[in-house]
Structure 1
Amino acid sequence: MTDLEIVRVPAFDDNYIWLVHDPASNETLVVDPGDAAPALAAAKERGWTITQIWNTHWHPDHVGGNQAVKDATGALVTGPAAEAAKIPTLDRTVAEGDTMKLGAHVARVLDTPAHTAGHISYVFDQDGLLFPGDTIFAMGCGRLFEGTAADMYAAMRKYAALPPETRVFAAHEYTQSNGRYALVAEPDNEAIKARMVEVDRLRAAGEATLPTTIGEELATNPFLRASSPEELGERRGAKDVFRG
């Protein structure tokens, strides 16, 4: 359990920006604010002031609001050292082995390149929280824009090593389409079938399917479950052209 308060902020068509508030220090973190306005509004509604911005990768739908949030709040911006040239708003760069703090809560940085060449993730081990950006989704993974299947497989192994109760705050609402492909990738997987009943119910009601957990993904995510880089690559290629 954690005393951190976490708020999901919808943005664009299917992005989720995450606000993380530490009541003890009154610090508030925003993860990947592609759009400043909804993040600032959600924080203001709760009487929170954003003090930090953490970026996972350089794509505009994750960093586009950095400057406006920074201008409005003075927040310190942290992001991947390997992508610093593409994120001009960064105040601090980090890579695997570095740690971040929100009040007394410590997060460690994982290098998880594949979707982009310098993509990172943030793990609060004591709190059981993972912010993976666009590397892993519920029943899915990010497209291999700048990395390889071997890169993504290595990232998946890092996630698989986390405790199964770890909550995963992925950055897009892709669960329903990912699940439809998962049913094709593993047609005999009863856990996927059962999960999709709930996913379809939630989406029909206009509700979110995130966060997920590492345990749920170990049971139902065909990319986390891939047995080799080759199998992951085959599945990613099939998902890229899947129209289900």
Structure 2
Amino acid sequence: MKPVTLAAKASSANHSLRPGRVTLVGAGPGDPDYLTVKAMRVLQTAEVVLFDDLVSPAVLELAPLEAERIPVGKRGGRVSCRQDDINALMIVLAKGGRHVVRLKSGDPMIFGRAGEEIAALEREGIAVEVVPGITAGLALAAELRTSLTHRDCAQSVRFVTGHARDGKLPRNLDWHALADPATTHIYYMAGRTAGELARRLLFHGLDASTPVVVASDVGRVTRQVTHIRLDQLAELEIELECPVIIGIGEAMRAAQGAEGTSLLRAG
């Protein structure tokens, strides 16, 4: 949906004396069975649902039939709704007395831009609540039956964004910390930057044989998983047909359930 369409919807919303509210709900990675009980209960009371591209149809179907559904997808490298327009739409709908559910894939507070939305709503005096969801990194660990903090090899876990506003690796990443062999790292949105990411980790001392898991469509029947080494990741390109998450660290060595190699191709 184009921003101009969002603006048109916002301007046409009817204002009401009844106070509206916004609930940010984590939809999980795709499988509706991953929803929390509270997320399902809140979704079933929605009057308007603003949903991301990555929210699965099976989750969206849990909203009431009479609830208005508005796609506000944001995807890297594609035409997306502007964040300011999404904020404005939530504000106008809530001021019109509606219960707005902002349905986000994964967990709203993990790379979901929830902070910007909460700040915009609070500036307008609109009641806002957050219902957490299962983020893709934790769903991946569960589906591979792999502990991200196995005490024999990982004393911490870190979630890292794989791209900045310009689509490249963030300039302020702490490469010394990222090359720590005693930490499991989960990289989100790193499809385009995977090769450079691996090369930088190698340069900063992470062992070439460090196990890597590259996965897409976690939490869905279309899930694909590939197991490689860090030095192999440095020489490969990842196709961008679907969202990709990358796990790096010794904890990944114990991962089971590898399937498919269609995510990867020679560079």
Query: TM over 0.5: same fold?
Result: no
Scaled to the shorter chain, the TM-score interval is 0.3 to 0.5
* Higher RCO (Cα < 8 Å, 6 or more apart): 2
More helix by share: 1
Structure 1 or 2, whichever has the larger Rg, is 2
Q: TM-score, normalised by structure 2?
A: 0.31
Q: TM-score, normalised by structure 1?
A: 0.33
